[in-house]
Structure 1
């Protein structure tokens, strides 16, 4: 007598269990090797260009023009940043400043928070022939926090600094301690930002060089924004100091 075969009833039909087959469905979260490779290779490029103009009629006629350009490119753990600035000032038709600034930095992220940095900075005023400053350095930085609305970084680098032009040029070692902060408001139309850097030479003739900038940006549309900012610089020497403070209104674009 044949052995009884287990069966099951389904929708009025009888099925033998031995005839049933089970196939595992495809998992929606399965990893695509090509997608993972593309994500690893993904790079981001961000940029901003801004211009500010000013003409004042007081006891003297003062004119000001300034152009800023910022580019940032990141791929994997590497990040490249370039900052350029060109500025022209005149008073009663006589040029009082014709300066250029160029800064380049390369970062390598050891972790999402910690990174190493190599930096190079150059500044020159063609009106004042002796007003030249450049340095190169290496160091470490840290992301104190970062999200989709902003970030706050601090870093310290050790630099070789040169001030002035040959033959009246001073070369010395210095520490650079700097910070960079930016934050968008919930509406995403307003953004505040601030950055500052302290150059601390290890010996005279310069005690301290401090450069800072703080501002507020308002996004008119996807690409165009208005910007109001305050800039303050301090050069401190033995027996004296030189200060420079300015307020700027400008318009810019980002991508």
Structure 2
């Protein structure tokens, strides 16, 4: 009798369809999946049969979802709906436990999953590789690999970066350096956090052979959601230099770091920028700048092409530096 009851329960669970979001189109089609977000005129629907599908918002009649979603009718304010219920064409019903509210689809600017302050473990990142071959009066081969990843659990966020650059000019090594950086963020509330950072750079060609930096300071997370993230951190740093001839020096500096990315056109494109501008407290330089800005195009859910520009600037020192590097490459993301 007990085994028969278990069998009936298993059959009933197997026959029960999994909860899924539903999108009705104006042409009468109905699509099921998981609403990821809506922005820039595109609704991204994650499906088992076609992966991530961007849908034109003007072609959507109404929606249905049993999950909590943040509905923004302006760029500033938003309402977290416990569920979405279908309505007549061009409208949707927001259910929050009280009286349901019907709104026009045209009034919605963004839809996304609300992100709590404390959440389960999340991990994301990109590995980008760029190759540059130049055949002219001077042949140049340049290889550049960059790894950037973030992991978050609760109020803690781990940020790690590793980069390697090697360049040959007429078969002779002209650039050979790598760098690694780790930063730990402790969130104090939804936006404010405190960061500690350690960075190491090794160069086998230039006179400045090793560079170590330790820094700490407050940061502010403006947003971090399905559409991207933007944060600033102000740091007090100590930097140690070791030169190829064995000489050493150190100094303190204040700096501002930024990290920005924004997804566009149903996550087909991503704009990104990160960097740091600093002011040494000693008479080392007037200011320093390390920055990158680029655009990434997703070929598949995990593969992408990117264009990137990098800027290294040191002003006011005995050996001023002003370098700009452009690259086009391939990457993978998760």
**TM-score w.r.t. length of structure 1:** 0.81
- Residue deviations 1:18-49 (CA, integer Å, cap 9, x gap): xxxxxxxxxxx9xxxxxxxxx96721111221
Instruction: State the alpha-carbon separation in 1 of the partners of residues 250 and 237 from structure 2.
Output: 11
What does 1:1-255 correspond to in 2, within 5 Å? 42-165=120-243, 167-255=246-334
- Residue deviations 1:184-219 (CA, integer Å, cap 9, x gap): 113210010111201211012233221000000000
Instruction: State the alpha-carbon separation in 2 of the partners of residues 115 and 41 from structure 1.
Output: 16
- Residue deviations 1:90-127 (CA, integer Å, cap 9, x gap): 10111001000100000001011100000011112111
| DSSP-derived class of the 1:108 partner | strand
The answer to which of 130-139 and 208-217 deviates more is 130-139
Q: Flag structure 2 segments of 5+ consecutive residues without an equivalent.
A: 1-81, 83-116
Instruction: State the alpha-carbon separation in 1 of the partners of residues 211 and 314 from structure 2.
Output: 12
Instruction: State the alpha-carbon separation in 2 of the partners of residues 243 and 102 from structure 1.
Output: 22
Equivalent residue pairs, number? 218
| Aligned partners of 2:118 and 2:155 also within 8 Å | no
Instruction: State the alpha-carbon separation in 2 of the partners of residues 83 and 239 from structure 1.
Output: 29
Instruction: State the alpha-carbon separation in 1 of the partners of residues 249 and 316 from structure 2.
Output: 13
Following superposition, the deviation at residue 137 of structure 1 comes to 1.1
Larger radius of gyration: 1
Q: Which has the higher strand share?
A: 1
Following superposition, the deviation at residue 144 of structure 1 comes to 2.1
Following superposition, the deviation at residue 63 of structure 1 comes to 0.4
Q: Cα RMSD between the aligned structures?
A: 1.8
The answer to which of 162-171 and 239-248 deviates more is 162-171
| DSSP-derived class of the 2:168 partner | strand
Instruction: State the alpha-carbon separation in 1 of the partners of residues 311 and 221 from structure 2.
Output: 24
Following superposition, the deviation at residue 228 of structure 1 comes to 0.4
Q: Are residues 130 and 238 of structure 1, via their aligned partners in 2, closer, same or farther at CA, if it must alter by over 3 Å? A: closer
Q: Flag structure 1 segments of 5+ consecutive residues without an equivalent.
A: 1-28, 30-38
| DSSP-derived class of the 1:59 partner | coil
Instruction: State the alpha-carbon separation in 2 of the partners of residues 90 and 189 from structure 1.
Output: 34
Instruction: State the alpha-carbon separation in 1 of the partners of residues 223 and 119 from structure 2.
Output: 24
Instruction: State the alpha-carbon separation in 2 of the partners of residues 107 and 118 from structure 1.
Output: 7
| DSSP-derived class of the 1:238 partner | coil
**TM-score w.r.t. length of structure 2:** 0.62
Aligned to 1:34: none
Instruction: State the alpha-carbon separation in 1 of the partners of residues 283 and 179 from structure 2.
Output: 24
